[in-house]
Amino acid sequence: MSPTVALVVGLVVGGALVATVLLLHARPGPRPPAPLPAPPPEAVLARRLVDLMDPAVVLLDAADVVVLANRAARGLGIVRDTRLVVPELLEIARAARDGGRPRTDVPLPGALVGSSPRMVGVHGLLLAAGPGPGTGPVALVLQDVTEARRVEAVRRDFVANVGHELKTPVGALSLLAEAIEDAADDPETVRRFASRMSHEADRLGRLVRELIDLSRLQGGEPMPELVPVEVDRVVAEAVDRTGLAASAKRIPIATGGEQGLVVRGVESQLATAVTNLLANAVTYSPEGTRIAVGARSRSGFAEITVTDSGIGIPRKDRSRIFERFYRVDQSRASSTGGTGLGLAIVKHVASNHGGAVTVWSEEGLGSTFTLRIPLAARPADDPDAPAGDAVAADVSKGRS
């Protein structure tokens, strides 16, 4: 290499090195972290937390002036400007200042909340001792317990009712057993009492069965999967189960309406519901009358109707007959063997299926109960199913 060439090469390599070093230095390095915004003071955070909390919280100073009320408390309508508008709440604050830790339920009138009356569970807490007795800031913590108290009341009622309902047939059985003992040498009387015993035992058995059904339907057990159920099969099963009682009263049961409907449901539950409606139709109809059961599809629902020309239901009782143990005529319960649970079961079956049950009735003319259950999806709505006609049509084709 000539000295000139060596000089040129040296200059080029040197220049490149200098340029690389300069470039490297020019590349931006890791940025220094931006200073974080200073966290809000603890007091602000605490206030924000209280505001977001679910229970309603109100802070009162020693003179009962509201110094803080969270969103939930304002939503309850208990604070106006800086004052509590419910006198019972002020009493709880006073009790807390006197050294107690009062906890009590307070009813809030509907007008305050802008909806139905509510029940709130209130807990009063003295936050700091004041300069003298009965002074100091107090916190009131309020939880809406309306639904919880309602459920408790229903449960208490239910247990009391069950006790009462079980006592009647059990009492009758023990009296009849005594009577049989006393009449041991009179076969005719023994037979009569024995037949009444069997009637009471049937009633007791039905009551226990229906109680178990009801507790299952009310969520005692998870609801089985809803599958396509043929309405015709449900109706046929229910007619079959009530046939004997109906023919004993010379009541024919006519079936009709649309055939081949398919609903989404649990067949055993639906059969129980329709059986209960048919059994009532038989029970509350005079001998020699007629009963009809039919089905039709209406706006995505199968409507199963049970019509009788029996005694009908007085207007004042119509809205209550679906309650547990409600009977129009309590005194007739032992002669009809009624438990007052049949329609409560029907109502639960309907609601578990996303449906409903309604009644039309006129005293002396008869009643029509309508059970509405969602129809099963048509194959066309189901992307996995082969295209075809409605399920209803497919099923009716499949059955000869």
| Chain centroid, CA 258 distance in Å | 32
Single out the residue of 86, 271, 313, 375 in contact with ligand ADP (rule: CB under 6 A). Answer: 313
| Beta carbon of residue 324, minimum distance to ligand ADP (angstroms, whole number) | 8
d(CA 396, CA 259): 7
- Say whether residue 342 binds ligand ADP (CB under 6 A): yes
- Say whether residue 146 binds ligand ADP (CB under 6 A): no
- Say whether residue 229 binds ligand ADP (CB under 6 A): no
Single out the residue of 141, 343, 350, 373 in contact with ligand ADP (rule: CB under 6 A). Answer: 343
Q: Cβ closer to ligand ADP: 134 or 286?
A: 286
Q: Cβ closer to ligand ADP: 93 or 281?
A: 281
Q: Cβ closer to ligand ADP: 84 or 293?
A: 293
Q: Cβ closer to ligand ADP: 66 or 357?
A: 357
d(CA 7, CA 10): 5
Q: Which residues make Cβ contacts (< 8 Å) with residue 235, sequence separation at least 6?
A: 255, 274, 293, 295, 304
CA dihedral 361, 363, 366, 368 (to 10 degrees): 10
The structure tokens 């009179």 sit at: 186
Q: Cβ closer to ligand ADP: 327 or 372?
A: 327
Q: Cβ atoms within 10 A of the Cβ of 321, count?
A: 21
CA angle 15, 21, 24 (to 5 degrees): 135
| Beta carbon of residue 232, minimum distance to ligand ADP (angstroms, whole number) | 22
- Say whether residue 169 binds ligand ADP (CB under 6 A): no
Q: What own/partner pairs with CB < 8 Å and gap ≥ 24 does 100-109 have?
A: 100/124, 101/125, 105/145, 105/149, 106/142, 108/76, 108/77, 108/78
Q: Cβ closer to ligand ADP: 265 or 342?
A: 342
Single out the residue of 213, 230, 303, 308 in contact with ligand ADP (rule: CB under 6 A). Answer: 308
- Say whether residue 305 binds ligand ADP (CB under 6 A): no
Single out the residue of 86, 89, 204, 321 in contact with ligand ADP (rule: CB under 6 A). Answer: 321
Of 128-136, 192-200, 223-231, 328-336: span binding ligand ADP (CB under 6 A): 328-336
Of 46-54, 149-157, 176-184, 332-340: span binding ligand ADP (CB under 6 A): 332-340
| Beta carbon of residue 185, minimum distance to ligand ADP (angstroms, whole number) | 38
- Say whether residue 275 binds ligand ADP (CB under 6 A): no
d(CA 320, CA 314): 11
Q: Cβ closer to ligand ADP: 362 or 389?
A: 362
**CB hemisphere CA count around 321 (13 angstroms):** 23
- Say whether residue 118 binds ligand ADP (CB under 6 A): no
Of 96-104, 108-116, 145-153, 273-281: span binding ligand ADP (CB under 6 A): 273-281
3-state helix, strand, coil in the chain (%, to 5): 50, 20, 30
| Beta carbon of residue 364, minimum distance to ligand ADP (angstroms, whole number) | 11
Q: Are 122 and 139 within 8 A, CB to CB?
A: no
Task: Give the closest residue to 354 by CA, choosing from 229, 226, 258, 254.
Answer: 226
Of 59-67, 155-163, 251-259, 337-345: span binding ligand ADP (CB under 6 A): 337-345
| Chain centroid, CA 13 distance in Å | 85
Q: Cβ atoms within 10 A of the Cβ of 74, count?
A: 14
Scanning residues 346 to 375, which ones bind ligand ADP (CB under 6 A)?
367
Pairing of the two strands 366-374 and 138-144: unpaired
Single out the residue of 70, 197, 284, 396 in contact with ligand ADP (rule: CB under 6 A). Answer: 284
What number of chain residues touch ligand ADP (CB under 6 A)?
Answer: 23
| Beta carbon of residue 344, minimum distance to ligand ADP (angstroms, whole number) | 6
- Say whether residue 86 binds ligand ADP (CB under 6 A): no
SS3 assignment, position 263: strand
Q: Are 107 and 90 within 8 A, CB to CB?
A: no
| Beta carbon of residue 165, minimum distance to ligand ADP (angstroms, whole number) | 10
d(CA 396, CA 400): 7
β-sheet bridge partners, residue 360 = 368
| Beta carbon of residue 292, minimum distance to ligand ADP (angstroms, whole number) | 12
Per CB under 6 A, residues contacting ligand ADP are: 276, 280-281, 284, 308, 310-313, 321, 326-329, 333, 338-344, 367
